[in-house]
Chains A and B, each alone.
Chain A
Amino acid sequence: MSDDRAHLDALDAYWNAFARNVVAIESDLDSDLAATIRRFHALGDHDAESRPQPGFLRELRPIVTTDPPAGSDACTDAAISPRVTPVNGTTISYRSTRHDAGRLLFHRWSVLAGAAVLALLLGIAWRLFTPQATGDRPAQIPAIGYAATPASSNAGCDVQPRSSANLVSFLDNATGAEPTPPTTVPIENRPAGTAAIDRTTVRQVQTTVEEAVACLARGDVPRSLALYSDDFIAHELAPVAAWRVTQPNWAGQVLTAYQLALISTALPSIPTYVDGWMLDDGRLQIIFSDPAVAGVLNHPETTRMIFANVDGHWLIDAADIQESGRPTEKISPDECTVAPISADEIDRWRELVAAITPVASPSEPTFPRFDVPNGVPASDTEWAAANRTMRQFAACNNTGDALRALAIFSQGYLERRIPQTADPASKATAIADLDNFPTAPTPIPAADWRSMPLLLHVVHLADGRIGVYFSEIGDLSAAGFDYVSPFPTTGIVFCSLVPASDRYLIDSCEPIDRPVGGADASNSSDFASPTPSAFSPTHRSRADARVNLRSDPSFDNDPIDVLDPGTPVQFLGQTRVDDGGNFWYRVRTEDGQTGWLRAEAFASLSNGVDVLCGHSYSSWGAATTNDVRVSVLNVEQVEEGKRPDGTSIMAVDVAVEVENRGAGPVAIEPNDILVSGCNGPATPDAADPLSDSTTLEPPEAAGVLGPGESRTFAVVGHVVALPANRIGRLTFLVEANGTRVGAIDCPLADASLAPEAKSSVGCSATSDRS
């Protein structure tokens, strides 16, 4: 065992010396391994493909090293009074410091809020002031690969946008002073005796955040602003915007790589709900673990956001950041009272591994997954027991003694970690792992001690076990036995605990990547239940391809089924991100199969298609009348040319599926499906006069749909659009048997949009049939 450990060390030492170009490397490393390292690096060094294009770095250098625009230090000190009233002993405070545009960007904002701020700034400025600023704008933003707009996304941005007039009102009232970024503050645990917020509210809050991310990701500033409170905009955004637009070249140099990089990289992530409770003033304090923050700032971060209820909707009212993760209560190893497992046990596992019959498979060994069961709220006694076990889990981990740390797991759990079959390499690796098992304690510095997991909920399970949901941010690898860790380094984990002689032991664990709700989460229907409820489709598989339904969220398994395009599925609330960065969703099909689909493999059944003119989409909306369901499958927009007034002529290709759900026939004629939008209000009663040539293709596809029959039609229209990036909506109008039978109607006109109200526009389904 010690020889192997020395081998690992020798390999690392040699490689480190090689990396540091230490010419004369004296090493105990096997010569063949040293030769492998040298050949590997030689291949890398001579890999011409991986070298940058001539000139790229030279062009990039000034972009990332140039100071912000001149005059950006014109801002003077401004006293910003705390906006958030201290409640419950907590506050989000603001410093009063001197700022300039460059330094503003340097502060450690909550990246979500920071990105939002920047996106909103850009959007406000772009939308409202571009004409006035034209003379000062450089011809082109330096072309270093950024798109002019962030990547588009259709997911979840279904909110009434703020109107231009509303936004201008904020600027009119702005003081012109820069706001001060929120300071980094310690985040406290939920106060004792304070209830977690209920599950419904968690969903509402999460929806607000997801919509904010979705709106920002697609560059829809007016809609994203609708998800922030007036206070937030007036205090955080409007002053900045007002200040910026008074500076020369605001639309040029300011809109360079800095903001675009933040917008385009920070927005796709949606933070994970960790905990939340109501403050004395009726607002909500929500703790999120934010992977986007981690992405920028290099370590897991926790974001605290305050939500205010405005007209029945929870809007973002404030946000800040904690530097070092969740509130922590470091648990001393002295608290560990568990007797270590015997070192003989390691030898026994080694024998079990040695007895594995190798199979020729390149896949890594996989460990059995299980469905997270439902349960009923645990008793106080069970809460206390779960708390003790998880505290022991942390304390024994912090001893640095793997044998004691493992003693808090059940025998069954540990043995289930041993694969039943493995390819020869995996088997050898597993044996090597066990040969190198750290049987001697390795003290862990107090700074690296694991903190007490935050127990979110405890349930009593039908088989006598108890289940505990907890949030976990940390890294078991500090204890040197990370290969037995069942946990992600961040996120929410469900573990089941089994009763043992004097305590409960951890018997199974499953990371949960989605919010699990609050105090009443025990009745959650998000997780697979042993007795499935009625099938209730929430999504459909992709409309344009057959997709694989898989047993695990990875490609390392054979599909359990292949779903036809557009197959309805029920999302079961669990998501995963695999090692390759693929997002997976756990779903159930109508015939009862449960499995995983890649994110690209399905889409929401949301109503309506909200589009950014000039962009194409693969998502869809649907409307259902009494007997006809109309689903929009694809929207593609291509600019065909410009009119003299500068507006674009867009070719719009749409795929529409019509399903006859009635008892009688439905006749679809070539002009029965009309597409309009992007150029202004369009209603089923007044199809946009500027759209033309809306036809069904192929014409012979028209015909009669019998009861239960469905058919997909392609519709090609030519729509005159306002300049690109204007937010528009397409309206789909369907007639059958000479009468309008259904429409997806999403009226749009800036003047018609009510300000600031966060209300879902939705797309109403209409029917002229009784």
Chain B
Amino acid sequence: MIDWLRAQQPVAADVTADVSESDADLIARARVDRAAFGVLFDRHAESVYRYCYRRLGDRNAAEDATSQVFTRAMLALPGYRERRGSSFVAWLFAIAHNVATDATRRDRRHAPLDAAAGEMDTGPTVEEAVLGAEEARSVRALLLALPPDQRRAMELRLAGLTGPEIADVLGRSHRAVKMLQFRAIGTLRSLLGVPSARTKSEDDQP
């Protein structure tokens, strides 16, 4: 999906960038030429925004968070070192993950009184999150139906990250991520109403 997104993103006219130029090459250039960072921005900004939106559930908060993600990334770029088995995308989304977490905490600390009072009791239950069939069958409702750690993994999956990249972002082992997504996909299957292969007709088979 990342590749698809990349293909959709316009390349800034003021930057000489080969669409096939790798993130690593762009990072190297961005250290001395800030414009090259713009290409990285173009490649990943929308997926970062959508990730932030899913984490925060609010357009303004997502815009704020997206701004901070790229600001932090640019500030930290000189110190970025690609590690074995890691990637720029994982690094970028690790920042996004942290920004979103910070934003959640900060919002809850500084929420207006009325809003905070409304949060005094438990959040939506699983049933509440998925009740209502069609309208609740939104991505956000699906995500809310998952335990937090599975939700985090699925949000990153939606952003196009691979298993190892998600492990990198969340600071978990790849194996732990495999287990998380295995559990999550089981829940999603039932929520999405995907029938078991045993009950499907032949026409349903891919």
Report A's interface with B, CB cutoff 8 A: 7-9, 11-12, 15-16, 18-21, 30-37, 39-41, 43-45, 47, 49-53, 56-57, 60-61, 63-67, 103, 105-108, 144-146, 151-153, 257-258, 261-262, 264-265, 268-269, 294-299, 362, 364, 425, 429, 432-433, 436, 475, 477-478, 480, 482-483, 489, 542, 544-548, 555-556, 577, 579-583, 598-601, 618, 634
Contact = CB atoms under 8 A, between A and B. Distances in A.
A51 to B, nearest CB: 7
A297 B121 contact: no
Contacts of B76: 106, 108, 296-298
Nearest to A442: B175
Contacts of A483: 176, 179
Contact of A57 (B3, B45, B79, B204): B45
Given A32-B197, A61-B42, 10 more contacts: A31-B200, A32-B189, A60-B63, A61-B38, A107-B78, A145-B67, A257-B68, A268-B109, A429-B183, A482-B176
Contact of A8 (B45, B121, B140, B182): B182
A362 B75 contact: no
Contact of A545 (B46, B68, B72, B117): B117
A548 B185 contact: no
A600 B108 contact: yes
Contacts of A482: 172-173, 176
A31 B139 contact: no
B133 interface: no
Contacts of A40: 139, 142, 154, 157-158, 188, 192
B42 A555 contact: no
A544 B113 contact: yes
Chain A interface mostly helix, strand, loop or mixed?
Answer: helix
A542 B118 CA distance: 13
A373 B183 CA distance: 37
A258 to B, nearest CB: 6
A547 B116 CA distance: 11
A43 B142 contact: yes
Interface string B114-158: 001101111101110000000001111010000111000010011
A547 B148 CA distance: 24
Contacts of A146: 64, 67
A268 B178 CA distance: 33
B105 A581 contact: yes
Contact of A36 (B3, B50, B106, B188): B188
B59 interface: yes
B196 interface: yes
A436 B173 CA distance: 15
Contacts of B186: 425
Contacts of A432: 179, 182
B101 A20 contact: no
In the A-B complex, the 7 residue pairs with the smallest Cβ-Cβ separation, listed nearest first, are: A579-B148, A477-B173, A145-B64, A581-B104, A295-B98, A261-B71, A362-B126
Given A31-B205, A477-B176, A144 B194 contact: no
Given A60-B70, A262-B75, A555 B192 contact: no
Contacts, number: 277
Given A65-B74, A261-B71, A555-B123, A32 B63 contact: no
Contacts of B113: 544-545, 618, 634
Given A19-B162, A32-B194, A257 B12 contact: no
Nearest to A39: B192
A37 B117 contact: no
A61 B205 contact: no
A703 B166 CA distance: 63
B60 interface: yes
Interface string B34-65: 11011001100110011001100001101110
Nearest to A295: B98
A152 B157 contact: no
A256 to B, nearest CB: 9
Contact of A41 (B1, B53, B164): B1
A583 B123 contact: no
B117 A21 contact: no
B17 interface: no
B3 A49 contact: no
Contacts of A106: 75-79
A125 to B, nearest CB: 20
Interface in B8-52: 12, 34-35, 37-38, 41-42, 45-46, 49-50
A103 B127 CA distance: 51
A15 B157 CA distance: 8
B79 A108 contact: yes
A61 B75 contact: no
Contact of B105 (A153, A268, A294, A542): A268
Contacts of B109: 151, 153, 268, 583, 599-600
A659 to B, nearest CB: 22
A11 B34 contact: no
Given A32-B195, A153-B109, A15 B181 contact: yes
A11 B194 contact: no
Given A297-B79, A482-B172, A7 B182 contact: yes
B34 A66 contact: yes
Most chain B Cβ neighbours within 10 Å, of A40, A294, A425: A40
A478 B173 contact: yes
Residue among B123, B176, B200 having the largest count of chain A Cβ atoms under 10 Å: B176
Contact of B74 (A47, A64, A299, A547): A64
A44 B171 contact: no
21 contacts: A16-B162, A19-B162, A21-B1, A34-B206, A41-B158, A44-B158, A51-B49, A51-B50, A63-B71, A64-B41, A106-B78, A257-B67, A257-B68, A268-B105, A425-B186, A433-B179, A477-B175, A545-B116, A545-B120, A548-B121, A583-B109
A600 B71 contact: no
A546 B117 CA distance: 9
Contacts of A547: 120
Nearest to B54: A50
Given A261-B67, A268-B106, A579-B148, A362 B127 contact: yes
A43 B195 CA distance: 17
A600 B173 contact: no
A19 B105 contact: no
B67 A21 contact: no
A39 B149 CA distance: 21
Nearest to B1: A19
Contacts of B116: 545, 600
Given A52-B63, A298-B95, A31 B206 contact: yes
B10 to A, nearest CB: 9
A36 B140 CA distance: 16
Given A50-B50, A477-B172, A599-B108, A11 B182 contact: yes
Contacts of A618: 113
A364 B63 CA distance: 32
A362 B67 contact: no
A564 to B, nearest CB: 13
Nearest to A60: B67
A298 B98 contact: yes
A64 B178 contact: no
B170 to A, nearest CB: 9
